[in-house]
Structure 1
Amino acid sequence: MKPSALLTDLYQLTMLAGYRREGLAERPAVFDLFFRDLPYGGGYAVFAGLGPALDYLAELSFSEDDLGYLASLQLFDEAFLAYLRDFRFRGRVLAPPEGSIVFPHEPLLTVEAGLAEAQLVETALLNIINFQTLVATKAARVSLAAGESTVLEFGLRRAQGPDGALSVARAACIGGVGSTSNVLAGKQFGLPIRGTHAHSWIMAFDDELSAFRAYAEAFPDNCVLLVDTCDTLGSGLPNAIRVAGELRARGHELLGIRLDSGDLAWLSRQARRMLDEAGFPEVRIVASNELDEEVIHAIRDEGGCIDIYGVGTRLATCAGKGGGALGGVYKLVEIDGRPKMKLTADITKATLPGRKILWRLSTAEGRHVQDVLTRPGEKPTAGTTVFDPTNPARTRTLEPDLTIRDLRQTVMNNGQKLLPTEPLARLAERCRTGLLALPSGTLRTTNPHRYKVSISPDLHALRNRLRTAMEHIPGD
């Protein structure tokens, strides 16, 4: 669905009107979109939402209905409404490839445009990038916890509205969850769709065995039976095994059984034993019920025998300690060619001024070592001392023999997308490859290794100069 130009905060429009009144609307400006803290106390984030963000920018315009609504607010004059009628985004955007692994203080998007254009798009870009990056990160954590088992996304009924549910399915795929129960997402994004049946199916029949037989009759080659409506081990599994035998006699095979309550580790071990002893070692065990990476880790540590994890609520709502939202921000870093920064007593919230290049340093074997932000024209070299962006007293000397590459590229120019839309499977593979290239310990869900992000000597010096100049501006 095309986002409306009204998908913005009111103050973006009042600022636009003010910029135009003051003759500032066309001043060349540069904004960076970044976050300061990793979600879930983790060691990485997965960059997602770039495709929808670029689509939003390319299609941005105010309809006559939009303008009529704004006129009804009686906040804006006719000249400003006429200005909005021809409003388009004609700027330039730099970004890493979607699916890249990213870290705090790194500009995920740099937007270069006239001040009015770059300002208006702030809210929508944050809405898109913050949510999809958070979901993709959560999905990666869940997928890594599952190991060789498959993860299915089925959070549609608990997601933040229909649009949120579609964004969840898309971003979860990038993070490594390659199938969904959401039929519309399957159509829109080309994702495999999966599902079983609800407890209500069992309850609609006189008994559990009749319900299982009816479902197997309807879907003999795609039958997964929910076995915990009555008694998982006392009736559910025995009845499922009986139906599995009847299916086999007709030339079909039961695909799986689903556990949706109780001690999933213990129940899955018992289910695996019963299925194997009955001659059905290929029947897969699906588990659901408020799963996330922490629960999955616990199930596996206790010897659970689960082949597919159905993860719904806690993925769709990004629940978990340190989750719920990605605190991405969008800050002005240059105007009229002059670097700008936000000054604050807390250096962790002070912004990094000016245009920047984001370099990723890796070993010859492809193992990532650290990222360095520099000013244009700089390139990290061995022996250079670089600075922690939040603690300048913490420095690091760059190692020799590292491969250095610019992580970002121009993805939009003059308001036109420069790259074709990539398949989600390719974005997911980029994510998987990037995760495997991180230093040892970065993927731990508890107390992970902290990947180093540093700033160059020139960028460090520029920030210090601007801070000093701003601190000495005389007051009234």
Structure 2
Amino acid sequence: MSDATTTDLYEVTMAMSYLREGMTGPATFSLFVRNLPSDRGFLVAAGLESALDFLSGLRVGSEDIDAFAAALHRPSCDLEPLLGLEFTGQVRAVPEGRIVLAGEPLLEVTAPLPQAQLAETYVLNQLSHQTAIASKAARCVLAAAGHPIVDFSLRRTHGPQAGYQAARLSAMVGFAGTSNVAAATAEGVPAVGTMAHSFVEAFATEDEAFRAFARAHPGPVTLLVDTYDTGTGVHIAARVLRDLDRGPGSAIRLDSGDLGALAVRARAILDAAGLPDVRIVASGGLDEYSVDELIRSGAPIDTYAVGTRVGVSADAPYLDSAYKLVEYDGRPVMKLSSAKVTAPGRKQVFRRAGYADVIGLVDEQPTDDAQPLLETVMREGRRTGKRPALDACRERCAADLAQLPPVARRIRAPVAPRVTVSERLSTLADQVRRRIEEGAPAFGARSRSLERSTSGSHRSVSR
């Protein structure tokens, strides 16, 4: 089986129905986040590259047909209309690493309706999960206020793939390294690590453990000092590092307790031992909230290692994301369900100074110095360019973060910038709503002409 079967069953049943009805005209689906999670002033777009990998390789083979048939308890011949289906469409998307806000399309897929429908589950999964993780990690970078921060999340992420993604995404938003060897190797990210408490416990004394570790690893080492009594552990680590002349570049790691107070005590011990260059690394259940508190307290911590809470985005583990049909065969469509109304038509996001973003229609021209965010990244089922380097994504993210309003960057009680919609998009939505409510025929040429003639001002997004 291929990744084509990594989908919800109803995508298959809908695609089959479309094919039976001859509904293969071009359809546009828009992927967006309805509302930001609590304590989020922004999101970092991520997951696009995984989605493009999937779409460029999407092809329904005979084994996939057998899997679909088994799931539906039908003979394989019934599913043969899907055989050979592959993605031949266009994708416009916000590049990875860019800041996005609620309601703004992260991605729009335009393809024959059965193809665009069958792509929904996988694409939505990748962008939703990775955007959530990247956004959490970016907040950690902001909280660390210039101090190095590293990823220790692999052992508790929701599977190895999620751990790999967490390592890549954290590097994309500004982390200095990861403990994940596979991700570090593949993505060109520094690999970082220390030792576990089990290593210390395996030796008769901490002194023996630290000396053995240093003998096995020439150069700077990081010693875990809180297996027993933290103060004693720091004294022993200082003695070993001084005896072996391994101070510069080396570090101690604090992994439990009152990290701020312990860091103050540890710094005093190290300085008294003549080891001012030995750094202090803190870990143990950290995320942006605890890092922010430690930074504000003035704790003498040099590097922060974050793991579980960031790797699973513990306080906001999912996004209220959607992948909705906005146009079929030239006809704008929208959903009117209570609290889930969608906007019709293919769109563009225009970024203005101060993140005064405007969501408009795809053929609108930006006003002032507005910058369109969505770029064409796939045509006829193939990428329009090479996969961007991680460094380019990192630079993009850093530039966008630097321009965010201070209230959106806050760790606690952030305020997201307010997004507006263009007058043309608002007018189109009103027209489509009236057509649906009145049971009128499909949106016709007269209405499309009216749409093109509408002015370019904008209104606030209602959420």
Deviation at residue 380 of structure 1 after TM alignment = 4.8
**Equivalent residue for 2:321?**
328
> Residue 195 of structure 1 aligns to a residue in which SS?
coil
> Residue 304 of structure 2 aligns to a residue in which SS?
strand
Task: Map residues 147-296 of structure 1 onto 2, 5 A cutoff.
Answer: 147-233=145-231, 235-248=232-245, 253=248, 255-296=250-291
TM-score when normalising by structure 1: 0.89
Deviation at residue 60 of structure 1 after TM alignment = 1.1
User: 2: CA distance between counterparts of 1:253 and 1:357?
Assistant: 52
**Equivalent residue for 1:144?**
142
**Equivalent residue for 1:426?**
392
User: 1: CA distance between counterparts of 2:103 and 2:138?
Assistant: 21
For residues 127-165 of structure 1, what are the alpha-carbon distances to aligned partners after superposition, in whole Å with 9 as ceiling and x for unaligned? Answer: 100011111100000111011211110111110011111
Mark the CA change 1:252 to 1:345 in structure 2 (over 3 Å): closer, same or farther. closer
Mark the CA change 1:285 to 1:40 in structure 2 (over 3 Å): closer, same or farther. farther
**Equivalent residue for 2:26?**
28
Task: Map residues 79-98 of structure 1 onto 2, 5 A cutoff.
Answer: 79=77, 81-98=79-96
Deviation at residue 219 of structure 1 after TM alignment = 0.8
Runs of 4 or more, structure 1, over 6 Å off, are: none
**Equivalent residue for 1:458?**
424
Contact in 2 for aligned 1:220/1:253 (Cα 8 Å): no
Mark the CA change 1:91 to 1:178 in structure 2 (over 3 Å): closer, same or farther. farther
The one-letter amino acid of 1:338's match is R
Deviation at residue 252 of structure 1 after TM alignment = 6.8
Number of equivalenced pairs: 440
Deviation at residue 244 of structure 1 after TM alignment = 0.7
User: 2: CA distance between counterparts of 1:59 and 1:79?
Assistant: 24
Report which stretch shifted further, 50-59 or 33-42.
33-42
User: 1: CA distance between counterparts of 2:266 and 2:202?
Assistant: 25
The one-letter amino acid of 1:276's match is D
Report which stretch shifted further, 445-454 or 51-60.
445-454
> Residue 5 of structure 2 aligns to a residue in which SS?
coil
The one-letter amino acid of 2:149's match is V
Deviation at residue 289 of structure 1 after TM alignment = 0.6
1:50 to 48, 51, 71: 48
1:448 to 414, 421, 438: 414
User: 2: CA distance between counterparts of 1:410 and 1:290?
Assistant: 40
Pairing 1:309–2:309 present: no
1:439 to 386, 390, 405: 405
> Residue 116 of structure 2 aligns to a residue in which SS?
helix
Contact in 1 for aligned 2:30/2:326 (Cα 8 Å): yes
The one-letter amino acid of 2:265's match is Q
> Residue 359 of structure 1 aligns to a residue in which SS?
strand
Contact in 1 for aligned 2:325/2:333 (Cα 8 Å): yes
> Residue 442 of structure 1 aligns to a residue in which SS?
helix
For residues 180-239 of structure 1, what are the alpha-carbon distances to aligned partners after superposition, in whole Å with 9 as ceiling and x for unaligned? Answer: 101111122222110000000011011111001100111131410000001000x20011
Contact in 1 for aligned 2:366/2:372 (Cα 8 Å): no
User: 2: CA distance between counterparts of 1:74 and 1:9?
Assistant: 12
Pairing 1:374–2:360 present: yes
Mark the CA change 1:427 to 1:380 in structure 2 (over 3 Å): closer, same or farther. closer
> Residue 379 of structure 1 aligns to a residue in which SS?
coil
TM-score when normalising by structure 2: 0.91
Mark the CA change 1:127 to 1:440 in structure 2 (over 3 Å): closer, same or farther. same
Deviation at residue 458 of structure 1 after TM alignment = 1.4
State percent identity of aligned pairs.
43
Contact in 1 for aligned 2:247/2:278 (Cα 8 Å): no
> Residue 421 of structure 1 aligns to a residue in which SS?
coil
User: 2: CA distance between counterparts of 1:408 and 1:80?
Assistant: 39
Mark the CA change 1:444 to 1:252 in structure 2 (over 3 Å): closer, same or farther. closer
Mark the CA change 1:16 to 1:356 in structure 2 (over 3 Å): closer, same or farther. same
**Equivalent residue for 2:295?**
300
Contact in 2 for aligned 1:48/1:174 (Cα 8 Å): no
Contact in 2 for aligned 1:29/1:115 (Cα 8 Å): yes
**Equivalent residue for 2:456?**
none
Deviation at residue 371 of structure 1 after TM alignment = 0.9
Task: Map residues 115-154 of structure 1 onto 2, 5 A cutoff.
Answer: 115-154=113-152
Contact in 2 for aligned 1:48/1:98 (Cα 8 Å): yes
Mark the CA change 1:454 to 1:80 in structure 2 (over 3 Å): closer, same or farther. farther
User: 2: CA distance between counterparts of 1:196 and 1:3?
Assistant: 39
**Equivalent residue for 2:4?**
5
Contact in 1 for aligned 2:196/2:224 (Cα 8 Å): yes
User: 2: CA distance between counterparts of 1:94 and 1:74?
Assistant: 33
User: 1: CA distance between counterparts of 2:121 and 2:70?
Assistant: 22
The one-letter amino acid of 1:181's match is S
Deviation at residue 442 of structure 1 after TM alignment = 1.6
**Equivalent residue for 2:105?**
107
**What's the C-alpha RMSD, in Å, of the aligned pairs?**
1.8
Report which stretch shifted further, 208-217 or 461-470.
461-470
For residues 287-334 of structure 1, what are the alpha-carbon distances to aligned partners after superposition, in whole Å with 9 as ceiling and x for unaligned? Answer: 1110011111111222211111110000111012xx110121000000
> Residue 5 of structure 1 aligns to a residue in which SS?
helix
- Gapped regions of structure 1 (runs ≥ 5): 363-367, 382-401
User: 2: CA distance between counterparts of 1:83 and 1:305?
Assistant: 65
Deviation at residue 462 of structure 1 after TM alignment = 1.2
**Equivalent residue for 1:360?**
351
For residues 398-433 of structure 1, what are the alpha-carbon distances to aligned partners after superposition, in whole Å with 9 as ceiling and x for unaligned? Answer: xxxx41221111100000001211121221111111
For residues 331-372 of structure 1, what are the alpha-carbon distances to aligned partners after superposition, in whole Å with 9 as ceiling and x for unaligned? Answer: 0000010100001233xx21010111211112xxxxx34111
Contact in 2 for aligned 1:258/1:285 (Cα 8 Å): yes
Contact in 2 for aligned 1:286/1:309 (Cα 8 Å): yes
The one-letter amino acid of 2:272's match is E
